[in-house]
Structure 1
Amino acid sequence: MGMKILVIGSGAREHAIATTLLKGASVDEVTVAPGNPGMELDGIRTTHIDPSNHAALIEFMQSSGYDWALIGPEVPLIHGIVDDFHEVGLKAFGPTRAAAQVEGSKEFAKQLMARHAIPTASYRSFTDYEAAAAYVTKHGAPIVIKADGLAAGKGVTVALDVQTALGALENIFFERRFGNAGLKVVIEEFLEGQEFSLMSFVNGTEFWPMPISQDHKRAYDDDKGPNTGGMGAYSPVPQISDDTVEQAINTIVRPTVEALAEEGMPFTGILYAGLIATDEGPKVIEFNARFGDPETEVVLPLLTSDLGEGINAILNDEQPTFTWRTDATGLGVVLAADGYPDKPKKGTPVPTIPADADSHIYYAGVKNAKNPVEKKTTDSTSSTGLVSSSGRVLVYETVAPTLQDAQSKIYDTLNALDTTGFFYRHDIGAKALEAVVPDNK
């Protein structure tokens, strides 16, 4: 008998996790709570339980005989869902409330790094506008402004001039754009270099790194427009040398998991290190306490081992096995609703995107149309019966022998579709093709 697993969350990340779990021989059944109707097109079960309702999730786990849960989004982790599961003897893959502070508070993460000499940008934190504005005016730009708490990936402003920085502070302190996340602000020095994401499976002081990926945060081509939750990603990242990755593992990932364990907050789950390759070596931009989105959608398709078996081993304090393709690139592009990230347009019919053995549609912000119409168009696309319900609607992902092959396949398909009411970036992966691969030093 294979395992039964509950995945908590509703987006494209959870769709990719559920799909990957079901590929493994160790897993018979996956339910996603609450999931979305796009997942159901793949035969994935969903149950309409809100991730904030820990008691209902516990009851579902117990009554359905599920083996363990994997928590996708950050909010339940920061609110202690893993602690609540442990209290009633249920297994959950994710950090405790204490360990999840590495994502829940920018200041907590910064102080942890300072105590343990983990390389990151220098910073100051402020709780009132006047002091923060005075610091920005004196320091000058470029400078980075971050709401301290959770802001769904949108609480960071890279300000290239002082005016933009002051505007970001006004948004946080006066307009309260990020609610309680903006009661405190962290202001950082601007770091120059290419960013990359390094996710690791972690169990206490042991960890197993995944292939690195690169996310594209800005809404529009050429890194223009506002920050979003991510508009696309690719893995691996050829312009980041193996030596740089090795250095990041040794100077950032290892000391961070050891620091959390040493301070009485051992981390189990996925530690996401958002890093930048500077002239002085890799430095931390941010930590997340879970799988990244949309990085997960391009990294997990490269996994050649059984994801459920690996995580189950970690939860039982055994040695897991994770193996990855090294002969291919995963690339994914987000289809977003017009108006995202500020005012995404809802209710637009979602086009059907043709998928095959090497490509996948991972759904996020979708719901069932009230009166679905099977609409045939000249380019032979048809309606999925889904409509947009939030900003990021889906991720279209493929695995191909090279980055160029992956780009061609994705963009040839997307460019042929009628995407009225949606937009996407046309340059995911372009930085890798433009970059000169640095010598391994």
Structure 2
Amino acid sequence: MNILVIGSGGREHAIAKKLIEDERVTNVYCAKGNPGMKKDGIIPVNIAEDDHTGLIAFAEEKQIDWTFVGPEIPLLNGIVDDFQKAGLKIFGPTKAAAMIEGSKEFAKKIMSQNKIPTADYQAFTSYDEAVAYVEEKGAPIVVKADGLAAGKGVVVAETNEQAIQALHEMLKENRFGQNGEKVVIEEFLAGEEFSLMAFVDGSAVYPMVIAQDHKRAYDGDKGPNTGGMGAYSPVPQISDEVVQTAVETILKPAAKGMIANGTPFQGILYAGLIATADGPKVIEFNARFGDPETQVILPRLTSSLAQLVIDLLAHQEPNITWSDQAAVGVVVAAEGYPQNYAAGMPIPSIEGCPVYYSGVAGEDNLSANGGRVFLVEANGETLEEAREKVYRALADAKLSKMFYRYDIGDKALIKN
């Protein structure tokens, strides 16, 4: 079996590594991939994610059995639609279904129509009207760019002034281009956040184990939002009852609601949730695996990811099993990230733990070439054991002009 993975980051590295574990898989190609993936036998392919014609030609030439789409931008560019038109199997939502991530307002409408619990909101294109709404509601309040912003288009404003500054940057300064021409302003929800992802095929929903992401750049959840600085799984402070409630009141209604909307969903549905005093509520939906949650969830999958996708593409119920072990992943980022960051630093070898590469360049000697450079992951019988392993490996690494958070998983240890 030959498989193509679309994408180039740590998430795609984790997906491709899991796929290649199946003895029936001959080759896993990754476009564009990155040179760090070669360490796990993955074959990078120098074709851009937006070159649908080139990717289709490659899939035909290499007799790719099916393709797995990692990032959101190719999905929203309609790569699934184009592959399907070419008669090729591909796993991921269509362009229309991917709008559950591509537009915050679209997602809110799906939630409203299907009584899915989420924060109250209003959408605005007018700066003056948005400011008036903030002044009426008052802080704390959440300001979101309607479109994609690489995890950086959300501001949790603790004061009205912070909210108005965010609105000015999005609507006046055009910080996120057309993705910020409309904003969604939400009520602030208090509680513990967690990520619940599921394999979805129409109305069939197969939940994964949960994880918790760390979005802020620095320890103690300080600093600017990033694409994610680390994650861990399981999340012991979130009860099984809360997770099951979320599956029944959020994931399943969302899948059915997408069908009713004329945009049926097949692929990975990601629900960013918060456990409030009134039960779990939705912060956001994504149309693909989360990053860095994927790097701690897929190591816990004990059944075949390749067979799982084969079954879903055939609309059959898959066999899915999970390890009871814990996993902790810590992102190593370039100095200055998520703003202007350093590049070209040598990547040291990491001993004793799996490494998922993202922003790297080079061949024999890898160097930093992105904001988030790589993630180190460790498994253990407990979160404490996994956490100790990953931080021991990082402490032994000789890092230059790079940084990482020292508190990934601390919330779980403090609360339990």
TM-score by length of 2: 0.98
State the match for 1:363 in structure 2: 357
Q: Is the 8 A contact 1:147 1:182 kept in 2?
A: yes
Of 83, 92, 95, 1:85 maps to 83
Q: Is the 8 A contact 1:329 1:401 kept in 2?
A: yes
2:246 corresponds to 1:248: yes
Choose 104-113 or 407-416, whichever is displaced more: 407-416
Cα deviation 1:260-301 (Å, max 9, x = unaligned) = 012211100000000000000000000000010000000000
Q: CA deviation at 1:175?
A: 2.1
Of 379, 404, 410, 1:424 maps to 404
- Partners in 2 of 1:279 and 1:287 — Cα distance? 21
- Partners in 2 of 1:144 and 1:123 — Cα distance? 9
Choose 173-182 or 77-86, whichever is displaced more: 173-182
Given residue 424 of structure 1, which amino acid in structure 2 is its aligned partner?
Answer: Y
Q: CA deviation at 1:79?
A: 1.0
Cα deviation 1:273-331 (Å, max 9, x = unaligned) = 000000000000000000100000000000111110110111012221111002x1011
5+ residue gaps, structure 1, are 370-383, 437-441
- Partners in 1 of 2:362 and 2:289 — Cα distance? 26
Of 157, 163, 182, 2:155 maps to 157
State the match for 2:101 in structure 1: 103
State the match for 1:390 in structure 2: 370
Q: CA deviation at 1:66?
A: 0.4
Cα deviation 1:351-372 (Å, max 9, x = unaligned) = 21113xxx31000001117xxx
Moved over 6 A (4+): none
Q: CA deviation at 1:224?
A: 0.3
State the match for 1:374 in structure 2: none
- Partners in 1 of 2:276 and 2:378 — Cα distance? 30
State the match for 1:197 in structure 2: 195
5+ residue gaps, structure 2, are none
2:331 corresponds to 1:337: no
Cα deviation 1:153-197 (Å, max 9, x = unaligned) = 110011111121111112112222211110000000000001000
Q: Is the 8 A contact 1:275 1:285 kept in 2?
A: yes
Given residue 258 of structure 1, which amino acid in structure 2 is its aligned partner?
Answer: K
Q: Is the 8 A contact 1:118 1:256 kept in 2?
A: yes
Matches within 5 A, 1:286-435: 286-326=284-324, 328-355=325-352, 359-368=353-362, 385-435=365-415
Cα deviation 1:121-146 (Å, max 9, x = unaligned) = 00011102111112112211111110
Q: CA deviation at 1:106?
A: 0.2
- Partners in 2 of 1:176 and 1:348 — Cα distance? 32
- Partners in 1 of 2:44 and 2:251 — Cα distance? 34
SS of 2:365's equivalent in the other structure is strand
Q: CA deviation at 1:415?
A: 2.1
Task: Count how many residue pairs are aligned between Structure 1 and Structure 2.
Answer: 416
- Partners in 2 of 1:342 and 1:182 — Cα distance? 18
Q: CA deviation at 1:349?
A: 1.4
Matches within 5 A, 1:216-227: 216-227=214-225
State the match for 2:140 in structure 1: 142
Please give the root-mean-square deviation of Cα atoms over the aligned residues, in Å.
1.0
State the match for 1:377 in structure 2: none
- Partners in 2 of 1:224 and 1:256 — Cα distance? 32
SS of 2:328's equivalent in the other structure is strand
- Partners in 2 of 1:348 and 1:155 — Cα distance? 28
Q: Is the 8 A contact 1:26 1:306 kept in 2?
A: no
